[in-house]
Amino acid sequence: MDRLLLGILFSFILTMVFLPMLIKFANTNQLFVPITYRRIHNTKVSAFGGLAIFISSSISFMLFSDIINYPDYRMVISSAFLLFILGLRDDILEISPLYKFIGQLIAVIIIVVFAKVRIVFLQNHIDGQLGQYLDIIASIFIVLGIINAYNMIDGIDMLAASIGIVILSFLGIWFFIVNQFDYSLALLSLGSALFAFLIYNRTPAKIFMGDTGTMTIALIMSVSILNFDKINSIIESSWRFNNAPAIEFTLISFIVFDMTRVVLLRIIHHKSPVKGDKTHIHHVLNNIGWSPNRISLTIVLLILFQLAVVSLLDNYFTTIGLLIVDIIILLLFYAIIFWILLPKQRTESK
């Protein structure tokens, strides 16, 4: 317990120390995010926040964990470091979506194939190695989806950090309750670093997370979500969930739902699915006059509401039933925005 608290505090303090230094470095060297159509900010801001988050949480984890007892962590750290370098390169000098995808794929293969962090589902229903191979392919697809969904949601101040804090805190506290100390330390150290970053990222933001932050954070989220299901299935605790996949889906349902909606809209309008625009739900809300702080708080409350509902119904519904509940909540949220708030704003503006 003492090591956990020290790790969380150390990560927070180190991030608070690094961020002003990075802001000053970026200002001195004029290393700012370009102001383009899809950006909502009109001031000079750097995207080096992920640098402080990654370094601080990594140092904290290595100092206060029993990493020597978990050799697979070397694979996870190697994969995260690869995404860190890829993201840093993109934050300084933008790289093409293809090269970014190749880098993400290599990092995810390290996690899924070599560290064996993957789902175990299809191999229980399909005989032979085919089921195992299909689980590997599905796991690669899931992790890539989470990385890109989280990356795409980072479009306004506070939003990605706020969502990250919710997901990491939920998983970190759960792992702590079920006596998985090192998982808890990794997640809560990262969460505390995000909390420190949030102080500088609130509107008007002094620094952005950048791809360095979004991709590495999303990778750790993905690993934790996949391990959540594995550990949940073997523990004997009152905190064991009957429908762990539904809980996992709830944690990422908002970011995945919005990514899917945006990609489909781009394809329908004959646009590149990987070319950024302003069709994300946070852009829609910002266009009707909502502040980034209000948008972030609303979305965080939505995710917390989903978690509360699905957790309360865990003993009464099947996994499929809970997934349907999640989707209904999201559809109602989007319906309120597009059928009530948007028409009201258009009427008032006439």
pLDDT of 10 > 90? The answer is yes
Q: Are 177 and 241 in contact (CB under 8 A)?
A: no
The C-alpha R_g of the chain, in whole angstroms, comes to 20
Query: Using one digit for the tens of pLDDT, what is the confidence trace for 136-183?
Result: 999 999 999 999 999 999 989 999 999 999 999 999 999 999 999 989
pLDDT at 77: 86
Q: Are 72 and 117 in contact (CB under 8 A)?
A: yes
Residue range(s) defining the domain that contains residue 151: 2-349
Q: What distance in Å separates the CA atoms of residue 127 and residue 174, rounded to the nearest whole number?
A: 33
SS3 76: helix
Percent of the chain scoring above 90 in pLDDT: 68
Report cis status (omega within 30 of 0) of the bond before 204: yes
Q: Please give the full DSSP string across 310-346, using - where no structure is assigned.
A: HHHTTTTS-HHHHHHHHHHHHHHHHHHIIIIIHHHHH
pLDDT of 53 > 50? The answer is yes
pLDDT at 74: 79
Q: What distance in Å separates the CA atoms of residue 220 and residue 209, rounded to the nearest whole number?
A: 15
Query: Using one digit for the tens of pLDDT, what is the confidence trace for 74-110?
Result: 788 889 999 999 999 888 888 888 999 999 999 999 9
Closest CA to 49 of 193, 257, 253: 193
- Cα–Cα distances (Å) from 295 to 154, 166, 190, in that order, read 12, 15, 23
Query: Using one digit for the tens of pLDDT, what is the confidence trace for 60-74?
Result: 998 998 765 565 677
Q: Which residues pair with 173 in a beta bridge?
A: none
* Half-sphere exposure at residue 174, Cβ-oriented, CA atoms within 13 angstroms: 23
The distance between the two most distant Cα atoms of the chain, rounded to a whole number of Å, is 65
Q: Please give the full DSSP string across 293-306, using - where no structure is assigned.
A: HHHHHHHHHHHHHH
Could you list the beta-strand ranges (E) of the chain: none
Query: Using one digit for the tens of pLDDT, what is the confidence trace for 205-254?
Result: 899 999 999 999 999 999 999 999 889 988 888 899 999 999 999 999 99
Closest CA to 52 of 145, 147, 161: 161
Closest CA to 54 of 108, 14, 106: 14
Q: What's the pTM value of the predicted model, to 2 decimals?
A: 0.93
Q: For 68, which DSSP code?
A: G
pLDDT band at 37 (very low <50, low <70, confident <90, very high): very low
Q: What distance in Å separates the CA atoms of residue 164 and residue 155, rounded to the nearest whole number?
A: 14
Q: What distance in Å separates the CA atoms of residue 4 and residue 60, rounded to the nearest whole number?
A: 10
pLDDT band at 40 (very low <50, low <70, confident <90, very high): low
Query: Using one digit for the tens of pLDDT, what is the confidence trace for 287-325?
Result: 888 999 999 999 999 999 999 999 999 999 999 999 999
SS3 173: helix
Question: Judging by beta carbons within 10 Å of its beta carbon (0-12, 13-18, 19+), is residue 188 exposed, middle or buried?
Answer: buried
pLDDT of 45 > 50? The answer is yes
Number of domains in the chain: 1
